[in-house]
């Protein structure tokens, strides 16, 4: 099925802030307050039926002067209908919080921990939001654009 993003906007109105479709990649930008409702609709509606969460990632728009600064990106896939949907949520630097999907998808647990580790975006309702790639002693979030390029935090050996 094509046109999922259009369908979402028809259903949710202003809660879907914008939609676009580049080369068949259908994308909808969801409002944070309606995000969980939209995700549940995407999962349970029998025409959309996206039963698989492929990936969660984020983009830091600091150097592009984005307002709000971060975009959290979710990739959904339907194994039964063989189509994909990309859902984005924009969050601000002052309040980088998104509802967690860990209860709905087990895979979201680790993916959200990775986004927390790399970008410092918190997931409300996550059962165990710890770092997953970096070590506990690490401070900061290395994929944020304001993380200093040459900053090293070695556990042993010379500090720079």
Partner 1 sequence: MEMMNEMGEAGFSTTKLDQAIGWARKFSIFQYPFVTACCGMEYMATACSHYDVDRFGAGLPRFSPRQSDVLFVVGTISHKIAPVLKRIYDQMADPKWVVAFGVCTCTGGFYDNYATVQGIDTIIPVDVYIPGCPPRPENVLDGLMKLQDKIQRQKQEV
The Cα–Cα gap between 11 and 118 comes to 33
Q: Is 24 in the site for partner 1 (CB under 8 A)?
A: no
Least Cβ distance, residue 135 to partner 1 (angstroms): 5
Least Cβ distance, residue 60 to partner 1 (angstroms): 15
Is the Cβ of residue 127 or residue 154 nearer to partner 1 in the bound state?
A: 154
Least Cβ distance, residue 149 to partner 1 (angstroms): 8
101 φ/ψ sector (left φ>0, alpha ψ -120 to 50, else beta): alpha
Q: Is 154 in the site for partner 1 (CB under 8 A)?
A: yes
Is the Cβ of residue 127 or residue 158 nearer to partner 1 in the bound state?
A: 158
Beta-bridged to residue 72, according to DSSP, are 58, 89
CB atoms < 10 A from the CB of 76, how many? Answer: 22
Q: Is 60 helix (H, G, I), strand (E, B) or coil?
A: strand
Q: Is 64 in the site for partner 1 (CB under 8 A)?
A: no
Is the Cβ of residue 80 or residue 151 nearer to partner 1 in the bound state?
A: 151
The Cα–Cα gap between 66 and 62 comes to 6
Is the Cβ of residue 65 or residue 149 nearer to partner 1 in the bound state?
A: 149
By CB under 8 A, the residues from 111 to 150 that bind partner 1 are 133-135, 142, 147
The Cα–Cα gap between 122 and 129 comes to 8
Residue pair 9/31 in contact (Cβ under 8 Å)? The answer is no
Can you give the binding site for partner 1, defined by CB under 8 A?
133-135, 142, 147, 151-158
């Amino acid at each position: 099925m094509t046109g999922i993003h259009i369908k979402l906007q028809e259903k949710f109105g202003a809660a879907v802030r914008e939609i676009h479709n580049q080369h068949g990649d259908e994308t909808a930008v969801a409002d944070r307050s309606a995000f969980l409702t939209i995700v549940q609709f995407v999962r349970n509606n029998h025409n959309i039926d996206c039963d698989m969460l492929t990936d969660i990632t984020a983009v830091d728009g600091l150097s592009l002067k984005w307002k709000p600064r971060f975009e959290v990106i979710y990739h959904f896939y339907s194994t039964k209908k063989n189509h994909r949907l990309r859902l984005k949520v924009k969050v601000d630097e002052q309040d980088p919080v998104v509802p967690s999907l860990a209860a709905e998808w087990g895979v979201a647990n680790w993916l959200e921990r990775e986004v927390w580790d790399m970008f410092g975006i918190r997931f409300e309702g996550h059962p165990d939001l710890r770092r997953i790639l970096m070590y506990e002693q690490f401070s900061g979030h290395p994929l944020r654009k304001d993380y200093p390029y040459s900053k090293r935090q070695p556990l042993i050996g010379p500090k720079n």
